[in-house]
C-alpha cells in the first residue's frame, strides 16, 4: 500500500469529479445518486471528524427523495437559491418540487452554505487534506469513505484511487483501473476480487517488486497491462491466464527472464521489455506468433535464437543498445517487418537473409562495427531510411543505388574512401546524404549539399 502524499488541487478536484462519476456512470438516475450519497454519510452517525460532522449536519436537513428531484448542474449559482429553491451540491443541484415558503428560506440558505463548506474541506480549500479512500481534514483527521463504494455493481470506466483499502468486492464490474504513481510497494490479495472484468490495468511508476500470481490469475479479461517503471524481478507464470492480453508493458524493471506462461498469450501484439536486465531473449516470446511490436532495447542481449523467424507478423522490432554481434539467417522470415532498430550493438556482418525483408522501410544500423554495406541491402524495394553512420565501413555495394524508394542514406563517420555511384544521378529519390567523417575527396563531399537532394 502506498504511503500518504499531499495531493495537488488538480488531483483533489479530479477525485471529487470521480466520486460523482462513479454514481453517474452506473445505470441509475441523479436522484438515486444523491440519495445514495446521503444514505452513506447519514450512516456515519458516530463520526467525529470535522468533514464527516459537517456533511452529516447538512444532509440531515435535506428532505427525502419523495419531495425532491435532481438535475445536472449547468451553471453554479447559489445566490439565486432564495428565488429558485435550488440547493447546490457540488456538481449537482437539488431542485424541490415545491418552492420553500418564506419562513424556511433562511434555513435552506444556511444549508447551501454548509454544503459549500463541506465541498471546500474535501477539495482542500480550507486546509490541506489528503485523500486515500478517506475524507481527511486539514488537521489530519480522517473519515472512512470506503462505504461510499459499496454496491457499485454497474461501475464502468476509470477508478483512480490511491488507496486500495476499500471494499473492492463491491465493485466487481470495473473494467479499467489506474493505480499509477501511487507509491505502491505491494498489491493486496483483495485486488483479485475485482479482476474478472478488468480489461485495462495500469500500475506503472510504483515500487512493486512482485506481482502475486493469485492476483494475476484473476485478470482473465485483461487486454492491456502497464507495469513499466517498477522494481519487478519476475513476472508470475499465471500471466498465461490472461489469454486476451493484447499489450504488455514491462519496460524499466529488473527482469532477467519471463515465465513460460507468456507462451500462452496467443493474442499478444505488443511487448515492451526495454531497459531491463535480459541477457538473452526469453524463448517463450518466440511462441507469441501474433506479435506485431517487440521492443528489447537497452538490455544485455548477446544473441537472437533462430526461433526469431517464428514472429512473422512482426512490424516493429527494437534491439538497439544490446551486445549483438550478428543475426541468424532466420531473420529473413520477418517479411512483415517495417521498422528495425539495431543500432548501438557490436554487429560486424549482416546475413544475406536481410535481402528478404521485403516490407522493410526503416533500417537503423548506426553505431556498430560493420565494415561493408552488403549487396543484400540493395534488394529491399520499400526501404526509405538506411542509417549506417558511425561504423567502420570501407566498402559500399553498387547495388545500394538500385533502392527505388531510398530517401535517407546516412553514412557519416565511417572509413569510406570512394562511392561506387553518384547519388545525384542514380538515387533519384534521395533527399538526404551524410558523408562527413570519412576519407572522401572534396568533389565527393560536395554531394552532401547538392540542391537536387532537397527537391
Same domain, 436 and 312: yes
Q: What pLDDT score was predicted for residue 453?
A: 56
* Residue 193 structural domain: 175-301
pLDDT at 133 over 60: no
Share of the chain above pLDDT 70, in %: 60
Beta carbons of 62 and 93 less than 8 angstroms apart: no
Q: What is the mean pLDDT of residues 322-342?
A: 98
Which residue, of 146, 161, 186, is where some domain finishes?
A: 146
Query: pLDDT by residue (tens digit) across 162-173?
Result: 444 444 444 556
- Over the stretch 74-104, which tens digit does the pLDDT of each residue have? 333 333 333 333 333 344 333 333 333 444 4
Per residue in 108-122, pLDDT tens? Answer: 444 333 333 333 333
Instruction: For residue range 340-364, list pLDDT tens digits in order.
Output: 999 999 999 999 999 999 999 999 9
* Domain end position, chosen among 146, 167, 191: 146
**Residue 208 shares a structural domain with residue 297:** yes
CA distances to 345, 401, 454 from 430, rounded to whole Å, are 27, 10, 8
**C-alpha cell recorded at residue 455:** 527537391
Write down the pLDDT at residue 140. 39
Mean pLDDT computed over every residue of the chain = 73
Q: Which of 186, 151, 181, 182 is nearest to 167 (CA)?
A: 151
pLDDT, tens digit, for every residue of 401-455? 889 999 999 999 999 999 988 877 766 788 999 999 999 998 888 888 765 554 4
Most trustworthy range by pLDDT among 42-51, 92-101, 132-141, 290-299: 290-299
233 and 334 inside one domain: no
Distance CA 1, CA 339 (A): 40
Q: What is the pLDDT of residue 195?
A: 82
Kindly tell me if the per-residue pLDDT of 255 is higher than 90.
yes
Report the CATH number that the domain containing residue 374 is assigned in CATH: 3.80.10.10
| One domain for residues 426 and 278 | no
**Separation of alpha carbons 56 and 82, rounded Å:** 23
Amino acid at each position: 500500500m502506498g504511503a500518504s502524499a499531499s495531493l495537488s488541487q488538480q488531483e483533489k478536484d479530479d477525485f471529487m469529479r470521480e466520486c460523482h462519476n462513479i454514481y453517474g456512470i452506473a445505470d441509475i438516475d441523479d436522484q438515486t445518486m444523491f440519495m445514495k450519497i446521503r444514505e452513506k454519510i447519514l450512516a456515519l452517525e458516530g463520526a467525529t471528524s470535522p468533514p464527516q460532522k459537517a456533511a452529516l449536519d447538512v444532509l440531515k436537513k435535506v428532505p427525502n427523495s419523495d419531495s425532491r428531484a435532481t438535475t445536472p448542474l449547468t451553471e453554479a449559482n447559489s445566490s439565486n437559491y432564495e428565488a429558485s429553491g435550488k440547493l447546490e451540491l457540488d456538481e449537482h443541484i437539488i431542485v424541490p418540487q415545491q418552492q420553500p415558503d418564506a419562513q424556511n428560506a433562511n434555513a435552506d440558505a444556511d444549508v447551501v452554505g454548509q454544503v459549500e463548506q463541506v465541498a471546500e474541506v474535501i477539495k482542500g480549500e480550507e486546509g490541506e487534506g489528503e485523500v486515500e479512500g478517506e475524507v481527511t481534514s486539514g488537521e489530519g483527521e480522517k473519515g472512512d469513505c470506503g462505504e461510499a463504494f459499496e454496491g457499485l455493481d454497474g461501475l464502468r470506466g476509470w477508478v483512480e484511487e490511491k488507496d486500495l483499502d476499500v471494499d473492492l468486492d463491491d465493485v466487481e464490474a470495473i473494467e479499467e483501473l489506474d493505480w499509477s504513481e501511487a507509491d505502491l510497494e505491494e498489491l493486496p490479495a483483495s485486488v483479485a476480487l475485482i479482476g474478472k472484468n478488468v480489461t485495462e490495468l495500469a500500475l506503472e511508476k510504483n515500487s512493486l517488486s512482485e506481482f502475486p500470481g493469485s492476483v494475476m490469475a484473476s485478470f482473465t479479461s485483461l487486454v492491456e497491462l502497464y507495469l513499466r517503471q517498477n522494481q519487478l524481478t519476475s513476472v508470475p507464470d499465471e500471466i498465461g491466464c490472461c489469454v486476451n492480453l493484447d499489450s504488455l508493458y514491462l519496460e524499466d524493471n529488473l527482469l532477467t527472464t519471463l515465465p513460460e506462461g507468456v507462451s500462452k498469450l496467443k493474442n499478444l501484439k505488443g511487448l515492451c521489455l526495454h531497459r531491463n536486465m535480459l541477457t538473452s531473449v526469453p524463448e517463450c516470446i518466440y511462441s507469441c506468433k501474433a506479435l506485431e511490436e517487440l521492443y528489447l532495447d537497452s538490455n544485455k542481449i548477446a544473441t537472437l535464437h533462430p526461433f526469431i523467424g517464428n514472429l512473422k507478423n512482426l512490424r516493429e522490432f527494437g534491439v538497439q543498445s544490446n551486445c549483438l554481434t550478428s543475426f541468424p539467417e532466420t531473420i529473413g522470415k520477418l517479411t512483415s517487418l517495417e521498422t528495425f532498430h539495431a543500432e548501438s550493438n557490436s554487429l560486424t556482418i549482416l546475413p544475406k537473409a536481410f535481402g528478404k525483408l521485403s516490407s522493410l522501410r526503416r533500417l537503423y544500423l548506426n553505431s556498430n562495427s560493420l565494415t561493408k554495406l552488403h549487396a543484400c541491402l540493395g534488394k529491399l524495394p520499400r526501404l526509405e531510411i538506411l542509417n549506417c553512420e558511425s561504423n567502420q565501413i570501407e566498402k559500399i555495394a553498387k547495388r545500394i543505388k538500385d533502392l527505388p524508394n531510398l530517401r535517407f542514406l546516412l553514412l557519416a563517420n565511417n572509413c569510406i574512401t570512394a562511392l561506387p555511384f553518384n547519388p545525384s544521378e542514380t538515387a533519384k529519390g534521395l533527399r538526404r546524404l551524410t558523408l562527413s567523417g570519412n576519407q572522401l575527396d572534396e568533389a565527393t563531399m560536395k554531394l552532401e549539399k547538392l540542391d537536387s537532394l532537397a527537391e
